[in-house]
Amino acid sequence: MNRFIKMPVILTALVLMMTSAFANAQEPVAGKNYVVLDQPVRTRDSSKVEVVEVFWYGCGHCYNFEPLIKQWKKRKPDYVDFQQSPAMWNATMKTHAAMFFTAEVLGVMDKLHDPIFTSMNVERKRLASADEIEDLFADYGVDRKEFQKTFKSFSVNSMVKQADARARSYKISGTPEIVVNGKYRISARLAGGQAQMLKVVDYLVEKERATLSK
């Protein structure tokens, strides 16, 4: 009699063990699915979990990733501080970084972010000079004199230098890559694809949530 009473309990325990083992098997692994940075990089708001996408407008992978990151941004928790930061390994990419920060300073990022991606990846424009970039901004209503003043300004130049230093601290090896809370770096290669990158991000965000400043 007791033997039959115990069987459901035993079966339930076995199911729970198998479920737990399966969940653990799916859990992202440091060194395999993401990289733990040797030296954590300071975040801009310690009361939130910071998520930084390092990207380049001329990167086809970044262009393809953009719809995924937009959907992720819509569902991200309030305690996540998301930002995009331009990668730069050469003079042209530094020009594109200045373009990015000029759009931010002028408050036209929402209008220009997608057109810049389209211009470089669909229309195959290089946007390698200030004149080309100025023409694009003017097409979207930006005053040319305001553009010229901002593009060459001390503040934009400082932002470019800070973004470059931050990317070097992250040890970025390609684009797009995502850094969570200045501690973990995720690439599509390690995660197993772009959609999987965001699953690893979600896992690490929850891992870091417990460290937030009160």
Q: What pLDDT digit, counting tens, does each position of 90-121 carry?
A: 999 999 999 999 999 999 999 999 999 999 99
Residues 120-158 as b or e (16 or more Cβ within 10 Å = b) = bbeeebebeebeebbebbeeeebeeeebeebbeeeebee
The tokens describing 167, both together, are 């990317």
- Name the band, by pLDDT with cuts 50, 70 and 90, for residue 26: confident
- Looking at the predicted structure, is the pLDDT value of residue 19 above 90? no
Top CATH class, 28-209 = alpha beta
- CA dist 162 and 166 (Å) reads 6
pLDDT number for residue 214: 57
- CA dist 88 and 99 (Å) reads 12
> What pLDDT digit, counting tens, does each position of 38-55 carry?
999 999 999 999 999 999
Nearest-CA neighbor of 30 among 38, 42, 18, 20? 38
> What pLDDT digit, counting tens, does each position of 60-69 carry?
999 999 999 9
- Looking at the predicted structure, is the pLDDT value of residue 6 above 80? no
Of 24-28, 42-46, 55-59, 147-151, minimum mean pLDDT range:
24-28
Question: Where do the domains of the chain lie?
Answer: 28-209
CA 121, distance to chain mean position in Å, is 19
**Residue 176 and residue 55 in contact, taking contact as beta carbons nearer than 8 Å:** yes
Give mean pLDDT, residues 134-156: 98
- Name the band, by pLDDT with cuts 50, 70 and 90, for residue 211: confident
> What pLDDT digit, counting tens, does each position of 69-89 carry?
999 999 999 999 999 999 999
**What is the amino acid identity at position 79?**
Y
